[in-house]
Structure 1
Amino acid sequence: MSLRVAVVGLGWAARTIWLPRLAGHPDMTVTAVVDPSPAARAAFADSTGVRVLSDPGELSPGLVDLAIVAVPNHAHSSVAAALLRRGIPVFLEKPVCLSHEEADELARAEQEGGAVLIAGSAARCRTDIQALRQLVESVGEVRHLRLAWVRANGVPGTDWFTRRSEAGGGVLLDLGWHLLDTALFLLGPLSFDQVVATTTYDFVNRRASQAAWREEDPKPAGGDAADVEDTARAFLVTDSGVSVSLLTSWASHATHDRTTVEVHGSEGTAVLGCTFGFSPNRLGGSSLTFTQDGKITPVSVDEEPVGAEYDRQIDALAGLPADQAQRGEAVAAARRTIDVITRIYESAARAADSRKPEEVPA
């Protein structure tokens, strides 16, 4: 039986990632799309069998089995919570929440409505990340995890994405969420005893640094300056002594986008080099190696098309809305992630060389 799906929010993610994949999936049927923008709704006015709605409050369990929520960050938890309370399972794009209070609200909504919240976790669905996870046991006792995702030019062009009032933060909440979820996937839940971090704003207001590949209109000249960070650097230490370094940038002086995940252990080191996401500024495929006693061994990784991790997420969705064992899992993971992100921002605010948002040059 086909899963009836509603897509809430018709921005870039819905148009580019979710709707094309849902349309081509044999076990999914899009029964409704929702967006407050008349222009966005007009694009789907002629879609046969698809209800075009202006408010997610018009959705009901009689119309949909699952709602994919891809609205601006500040509305993630409120929209998802309202749907959950009406008994509609929700797949929520990252960031799942912007605060501990929002995580609490999602937990209450899940309990009150009896529906399941599912979190978007694209990185862990990548073939190369799954291959890296299989190597973790080979490194022995894990000592250090290095996570880096640095774009050449990739500042989002959508205005709300670079306004703290609507996005909640910058690259840390965007790309950093994926990296922290990767850490959770590789090593399991981590409790951090120490967090030190900085954030910088060198590229966020440069038009040349905008992600033109996202098919968005360039920000108008003379518009409001962005007030979120384009780069975050953090060093974290768990209560068991494992260290984690994190670097994430929307833009840089590099010519290509690069994602690096390294797991250093007592018996060896596993290193993955690849490019997360959809940017065309890629270096090619994925490279995975295992190093032990001075010997570097390449590990084979199947090549896959850009975006294949999202295909796998869609494939996995069919059975999840009815799986009550999933209840609470997404919120628990989100609590851990938003706690780390909050502490990184707090540390950066205290850092002597951290520049306050209002000091960012236009």
Structure 2
Amino acid sequence: MTGIGRVLVAGAGWIAHRVHLPYLARLRQAGGLGELLIADTDTARAEAAAREFGARMHAGSLEEAAAGIVLVATPPSSHAALVLRALKAGAQVVVEKPLALTAADAAAVWRNSVESGLRVYPLYTSRHRPEVAVLRDAVAELGDVRQVRAAWMRRSGVPVTDGGRAAGVLWDLGSHLADLAVHLAGWSAVTGTATARHQHPSTGGQDAAAWQTVTAAGGTASALPCWHGVSAAATVDPSFPAGPVRQLRLEASWAAPGAARDEVRIDLEAEKGSVHWRTVLGWSPDRALAPAPAAWAVRDGERHVLVDAQPRDARHEYAGQLDAALAALTTPDCRAEAVRHLRAACASTALLHAMDSALSGIAQPFTTAV
């Protein structure tokens, strides 16, 4: 990683306060970063963050910051627009998940990144778990993946921020699941049809995630109409003529009825066997309760343990994703990795956009044109 001049963090909310700003402040203290700027629509929050992390509050426009790298940590609805503005201003970009809320916006980010020669690295934290590399190697030995089932069920974990709840559980938890499905199955481009339905409606937001302590601007976040769960499916067209159709089934809940603890379940069925992962993602305190073995493969009727121990501390993958992001943006040899990562984000965005649209009750087509 080469030296970094000026970084602007757009958004000083929970994720920036918990992850990005501590990381960048440490990098700056170590001499790897020249200047750290923080901007937020809530100037008081930006000023407080600047004082805490030894940064400078930026009150002007994104373009006026003249930053070499812009890290977008705002509500999901603003991600694509801010990424496009940063690219137009000549900056490389790191952006929180989801990359965008529509396939068209994701494609616009891709197009502008390619045309400008500037890199965009979306942050999908879960793929930086140490188990994921082991799982992907195991899946690669089993041939073409025919079906992926992915579920993230929280016992209690509704976002406390307006922006997080407004995007909905599909874009919050489902973004991680769709990214892992695309990454593990090797589906870099997807075309097909999606369906989806709501599950268990909101109870008013009383069961907000206990580990999130920073609220929206102006004090306690207001309750927004939402559903706490969603179930979705996608039929993915074969990658070659006459090939098998692939299936993706996705389920996510912020507050699953009857759930004793948070759990993530991912199962991949391939030509020669299957791979299974049971874990807890994110900052959930239930990481300490995740069972072992964490992952196993089944081939020729025999079960083989792939990962026994569970990583209990979430800081590893959150720091790892930023290490990877900055390397992808600043190291010449990492350009191809940055392109692959952005392509995968466009694929998962297309899937989720179709699923989100299908909540209206009408099946929706999707495709990635990148």
TM-score range for the pair, normalised by the shorter chain length: 0.7 to 0.9
Query: Where does residue 336 of structure 1 map in the other structure?
Result: 347
> Which residue of 130, 133, 145 corresponds with 2:133?
130
Q: Distance in 1 between matches of 2:107 and 2:272?
A: 40
Amino acid at match of 2:254: W
Pairwise CA distance, 1:285: 5.8
Q: Could you say what secondary structure the match of 1:23 adopts?
A: helix
| Cross-structure match for 1:271 | 276
Listed as ranges, the matches of 1:1-362 within 5 Å are 2-4=3-5, 5-25=7-27, 26=30, 28-29=32-33, 31-46=36-51, 50-54=55-59, 55-60=61-66, 64-111=67-114, 113-163=116-166, 167=167, 170-188=168-186, 189-202=188-201, 204-217=202-215, 225-240=223-238, 241-253=245-257, 254-282=259-287, 283-284=289-290, 287-301=294-308, 303-304=310-311, 305-322=313-330, 323=332, 324-325=335-336, 329=340, 331-350=342-361
* Aligned equivalents of 2:58, 2:217: Cα separation in 1: 28
**Paired residues of 1:121 and 1:178 also in contact (CA < 8 A):** yes
Please give the alpha-carbon distance, in whole angstroms, between the structure 1 residues aligned to 2:165 and 2:229: 12
After superposition, the Cα gap between the structure-2 partners of 1:331 and 1:219, relative to the gap in structure 1 and judged at 3 Å, is: closer
**Deviations 1:134-191 (Å, cap 9, x if unpaired)?**
110343443321111111111111123223xxx3xx1111111111111121122253
Shift of 1:106: 2.3
Shift of 1:329: 4.7
How many Å apart are 1:328 and its aligned residue? 5.4
Contact 1:210/1:218 (<8 A) preserved: no
Distance 1:314 1:38, change over 3 A: same
**How many aligned residue pairs are there?**
342
CA–CA distance in structure 2, aligned partners of residues 223 and 12 of structure 1:
12
User: What runs of 5+ residues in structure 1 fail to find an aligned partner?
Assistant: 353-362
Aligned equivalents of 2:215, 2:73: Cα separation in 1 = 19
CA contact (8 A) 2:296 2:305 kept: yes
Tell me by how many angstroms 1:48 deviates.
7.8
Identity %: 27
**TM-score of the superposition, structure 1-length normalised?**
0.84
Q: 3-state DSSP class of the match of 2:146?
A: strand
What is the Cα deviation at residue 193 of structure 1? 3.0
Q: Is the 8 A contact 1:85 1:110 kept in 2?
A: no
The answer to whether the 8 A contact 1:122-1:178 is kept is yes
Say whether the 8 Å CA contact 2:193–2:354 is kept in structure 1: no
Contact between 1:92 and 1:118, CA under 8 Å: does it hold in 2? yes
- Worse-superposed segment, 9-18 or 30-39: 30-39
Deviation at 1:130? 1.5
TM-superposed deviation, 1:105: 3.6
Give the aligned residue type for 1:243.
Q
Cα distance between partner residues in 1 of 2:338 and 2:215: 39
Pair 1:330–1:77, CA change in 2 (3 A): farther
Most deviating of 92-101 and 39-48? 39-48
TM-score (norm 2): 0.82
Question: Per the alignment, do residues 280 and 341 of structure 1 end up closer, same or farther by CA in structure 2, a change over 3 Å counting?
Answer: same
